[in-house]
Amino acid sequence: MRRNSQMNEEETWHVRDLLTENKSAKNRSELGEKFIPKLLLFIALLSILTTILIVITLVTETIGFFSEVPLLEFFTGTVLKPLSQNPEFGILPLINGTIISSAIAMLVAGPIGIMTAIYLSEYATDRARRVLKPMLELLAGIPTIVYGFFAFTFVTPLLREFIPGLEATNILSPGIVMGIMIIPMIASLSEDAMSSVPNAMREGALALGATKLEVTFRVIIPAALSGIISSFVLGISRAIGETMIVTIASGSSKNFTFDITQSMQTMTAYIVEVSGGDAPAGSTIYYSLYAVAMTLFVFTLIMNIIARYISKRFKEEY
């Protein structure tokens, strides 16, 4: 009897210990459930706060610039001479260089990227896709300064063999190399969009007698058009914001010209030049850095808004 009583007491204490441990674990779980959402909210608000502070900084310094330089002169002027005795601050040469370099990049990346996506999505075997797609995405991991030196030391000398009038620094070479750089973005996003199209649509078109090529261009691409266009817009945004390639390979000539064999400067390259130390803090040249950065910010913002609009406008749900 005494032994049975001891065993019952031990079992009772064991049950109590288990209940205590479960209660403690439950309390820790409830504490985590309350803490984790607050931590995630703080991180989300931190990113929003950072964006707001960036915008406030840009707007504040830009207002300081436009208090000395007329707004109309800045956005319509074709001459940019910030370091001359009679400085002129026309941003059109920078906008022109940025648009031309981005257009060249998209002429290179667009066709190659979409054709690569078509192959990976519709023609490649699973084994080939597993090998080729990671290899393609390796291009996205190469530092942009390496692309810049590649454009300056290899692509430009190669192009000068075919275009004798090409200057040592020009807008054509960095535009081509930027296109190579953004091929993975366009190809990967477009391939994801095409792969998300249900196989039933492919099989239905094939059952009706369509060839593989007809299925691709008449069924798959129209169905994935939202993702494809979004990838193009994001690629343009990436090209507009590129810095090191154009800084190294396009030169610092602030020419307002449409001749792609000549040296031009983009908005990002100008920001690098001014922030290099030639402009004393508080000067008009110093404030022009923020005005150009604000213009670049607006450009990129517009591209992202367009991408979101297109994505929602042409989105297909299956």
Question: Cα dist. 113→54, 75, 233 in Å?
Answer: 33, 34, 13
Q: Are residues 41 and 111 in the same domain?
A: no
Q: Are residues 1 and 63 in the same domain?
A: yes
Q: Are residues 3 and 151 in the same domain?
A: no
Q: Are residues 90 and 56 in the same domain?
A: no
Q: Of 24, 48, 67, which residue is a domain's last? A: 67
Q: Are residues 225 and 83 in the same domain?
A: yes
Q: Are residues 194 and 276 in the same domain?
A: yes
Walking along the chain (318 residues) 10 residues at a time, the average pLDDT comes out as 49 53 59 73 86 87 84 84 79 90 92 91 84 82 88 90 85 91 90 86 83 86 85 86 86 83 87 75 80 87 79 66
pTM of the model: 0.81
Could you give the angle at which helices 225-240 and 284-313 cross, rounded to 10 degrees?
Answer: 170
Q: Is residue 85 part of a domain?
A: yes
Q: Are residues 86 and 173 in the same domain?
A: yes
Q: Is residue 234 part of a domain?
A: yes
How many C-beta atoms lie closer than 10 Å to residue 220's C-beta? 21
Per-residue confidence (pLDDT) for residue 299, from 0 to 100: 84
Rounded distance between C-alpha atoms, residue 255 and residue 93, angstroms = 6
Q: Are residues 191 and 123 in the same domain?
A: yes
Q: For the domain that residue 201 is a member of, what is the CATH number?
A: 1.10.3720.10
Q: Is residue 179 part of a domain?
A: yes
Q: Are residues 50 and 102 in the same domain?
A: no
Q: Are residues 62 and 157 in the same domain?
A: no
DSSP-based three-state secondary structure for 81:
strand
Rounded distance between C-alpha atoms, residue 246 and residue 213, angstroms = 38
How many Å is the maximal CA-CA distance in the chain?
109
Q: Are residues 62 and 143 in the same domain?
A: no
Q: Of 22, 42, 67, which residue is a domain's last? A: 67
Q: Are 190 and 136 in contact (CB under 8 A)?
A: no
What residue numbers bound the domain in which 16 lies? 1-67
Q: Are residues 57 and 99 in the same domain?
A: no
Rounded distance between C-alpha atoms, residue 67 and residue 237, angstroms = 30
Count of domains observed in the chain:
2
